[in-house]
Amino acid sequence: MPRARGLLILTGLLILVSPVPSRAEVNSFSKGLVVSVSEKASQAGLEILKQGGNAVDAAIATAFALAVTHPAAGNIGGGGFMVVHPGGANLPTVFEYREAAPLKAHRTVYSPDDGMYSHKVPGVPGTVRGMGLAHQRFGTLPWKDLLQPAIRLAGQGFPVSKELASSLNGLLATSKDFLELQKVFAPPNRNGKWKAGDLLRQNDLARTLERIAQHGPEEFYTGETARLIEQEMIRGKGLISREDLANYQAHERKPIAIPYRGHVVYAPPLPSSGGHTLGLMLNILDGADLKKHGRWSHQTKHLLLETMRRAFLERARHLGDQGFTDIPHFLLEKTFAKSLHASIDDDKATPSKSLAPEIPISPESDNTTHFSVADAKGMAVSNTYTLERSYGSKVVVTGAGFLLNNEMLDFNWFPGTTTNSGRIGSEANTIAPRKKMLSSMTPVIVTKNGQAFLVTGSPGGRTIINTVLQVVINVIDFDMTIQQAVDSPRLHHQWLPDKSKFEDMKGKAYQESLKKLQSMGHEMSGGPQGDAHSILIDPSTRKLIPGLDQRIEGGLAGY
C-alpha cells in the first residue's frame, strides 16, 4: 500500500510525517482536527476552524476543497450523507443529499447496451444543497467564506501528488471521447503526462465556485450553473432537466441508533443501506464473545464473514428508498439478529445461495471519499460523498468545470435479474422518477455517555459497511488505538458473489487462520479495502486523536 503523508499544523508550525505513526507517537489536538484523503482539503477545513468556524463550517469547506483536489470522488456534481453530533446533550442528526433519479427516468429506461460513462447515467446532484442545508442548520460563519479555500485552490492551482498524477494520466488515457474532460484535466505539457509537482488549475470550476459562494447554494440549482448543466444534458441527450434541478431536495433525517456494548453507533438511514446493514451486523455480534478467540483467529474471522454474508442478503432482499419502499421493522430487532446468529455453523461456511434459493444484484463502485472533523466544543462531523465510479460519468459540464456523477448505476437496471457476480434485481431498488438510489455510504459517529467518541467512515462500494464495522469493533471490542484500528487488515463478504476477502493474504501472522478458513469452505482472495479517515475523542481529556488511513494518500490538519 502507498504511504500516506500526514499533515500536522500546530500553532503555525508545519510538520510532515511519513509514514503515519502509531497513536502512541502521534500528537493529539485540543482545538480542532480534520482528516481526509487530501492534505490541501484538510488544510481548508483547518483554515475555517481557525477563523472561528465550527466542525460543520469546516466540513463544508473541506467538501468543496475536495471537489478541487480529489476530483475522482470529491465533488459538487454528486451526493452523499453527513452525520453531525452537535455537541453537549444534543443528539446526532443526518443530512441526506443522495442523488435522485430524473423525471425522465423510469423502471426500464436502460438497455443492456447502455454504458456506465455517458450523459444518460448522472442522477440529479445533491452535494451543494446538502452542504447548504447543513450550513442553514449549524453554520456559524458566512456561506461565502467557507468556499474561499476551494476557490483559491481551483483558480491559483495546486501541485498534484504522485497519486493524483497517476490517476489523471490513467483517466486521460481511457477517456479519449470526453473532450471537455480532456480539456479540463490536460497536463501542463500538452504532449506529456502529469507528474508529481505539476500545477493543476481549474479556472471554470473556480468561476462556478465563486458564483455559488456569492449567490448561495440555490445558484447551482436555479442559476447560471443550472443553465450550463441543462445545456450539457441537451448536448449529450442526457436525462436531467432544469425542473429536476430546481425540485431536488436534501433532507435532515433521524439517524439509525444502534446500542453496542455501552456505546451508541449513529449511522444514516435509507437510502443509505449502511445504517440498517451495520445495525444488523452489530446486533448479531452483540450476542457473541468476540474477545474469546482473539481478533485474528480463524474463529473470529469466520464469525465476521458469516455475519456479513447474512446481513448483505437481507440488504439485497429489503432495502431501497424509504419513500418508495416499505422497509421491514424486524431488520433492526434483536430477536431477528439472534435467529441469524443461531444459523451460523461454527465449523463451516454457509453457501450463499443456500440462504436464499428463492432469489433467481447492481454493482457499486469503490470510488467514494470520506472525511472526519471535530472541534473544541464537542461538535463532530462524519461525511461520505461520491461521484459513483472514479471521476463519475466522465462528463464535465462545459464552461462549469466539474464532473457529473454516474450514480444511476446504483439502481437495479434490470428488475428480477440477479447474478452470481453481484448484480441484484430485487424490487426495492428499481428505478422511478425522483427516487433515490440505494447506497452503501456509512458515515458514523459513535457516542459514549452521550458525547462523540469515534468518527469514522470509508469509500469502497459495498465494502464500506464492513470497513466501518471493523473499525468500530477494533476500537470497542479489541481496545485498539484509532490508528491501529484503521491500519488493521480488513475482511469482506457481501453475500453474492460468494467470495471472502482479506486484505493481507500474504501476512505471515495470518497464514494459519487463512488456511483454516479455506478448509471451512471460504473462497479467499486479497486486495485493498476502504480509506477510513477517522477521529477518536478521548473520553477523559477530550483530546482529538487522528486515525489517518494509508491505503491511498491523505492528510490531517489540527491544532
Q: Which residues does the annotation mark as catalytic?
A: 368
**Nine-digit cell at 340?**
441469524
237 sits in the region (left: phi over 0; alpha: psi -120 to 50; else beta) called: left
Is the backbone peptide bond immediately before 159 cis, with ω within 30 degrees of 0?
Answer: no
d(C-alpha 501, C-alpha 422), whole Å: 15
Contact between 135 and 411 (Cβ < 8 Å): no
Cα distances (angstroms) measured from residue 517 to each of 179, 303, 463, 501: 49, 11, 20, 11
Contact between 446 and 432 (Cβ < 8 Å): no
Crossing angle of the two packed helices 203-215 and 224-236, in degrees rounded to 10: 130
d(C-alpha 255, C-alpha 185), whole Å: 38
* Beta-sheet strand order (sheet of 500-502): 491-492, 500-502, 524-525
d(C-alpha 61, C-alpha 49), whole Å: 10
d(C-alpha 550, C-alpha 493), whole Å: 22
Phi, psi of 70 (to 5 degrees): -135, 65
Element (H, E) at 476: helix 463-476
